[in-house]
Amino acid sequence: MLGEIEYNINQLFAQLGLESSDEAIEAFIRENQLPQETKLVDAPFWSEQQRAFLKEGFELNAVWVVPIDELNVRLHEDAMSE
């Protein structure tokens, strides 16, 4: 849609109430790698509010799909390289 804001992973982290600097995001991803079979929304480190936002953002809100998908891929990098 014309004029629609494109959100990025830094804005996603801010929306989740997490530190949103590039360095903090890299540290979070490095320290929280998930097994391949664990869905992003089932990760043990999310609060219920964060989990609900991620699930709703992916299913219902197209503006958040790209950064949520990027986060999902990056949190599974170690599992995918095995």
| Band (1; pLDDT cuts 50, 70, 90) | very low
The pLDDT score that the predictor gives to residue 32 is 97
Distance set, CA 30 to CA 2, 4, 21, 26, 34 (Å): 35, 31, 14, 6, 10
Residue 68 lies in a domain: yes
Q: What is the pLDDT of residue 3?
A: 57
For 49, the domain range is 15-80
- pLDDT one-digit tens code per residue, 36-80: 999 999 999 999 999 999 999 888 877 899 999 999 999 999 888
Task: Assess if residue 10 is contained within a domain.
Answer: no
Count of domains forming the chain: 1
46 falls within a domain: yes
CATH of the domain at 45: 1.10.10.1130
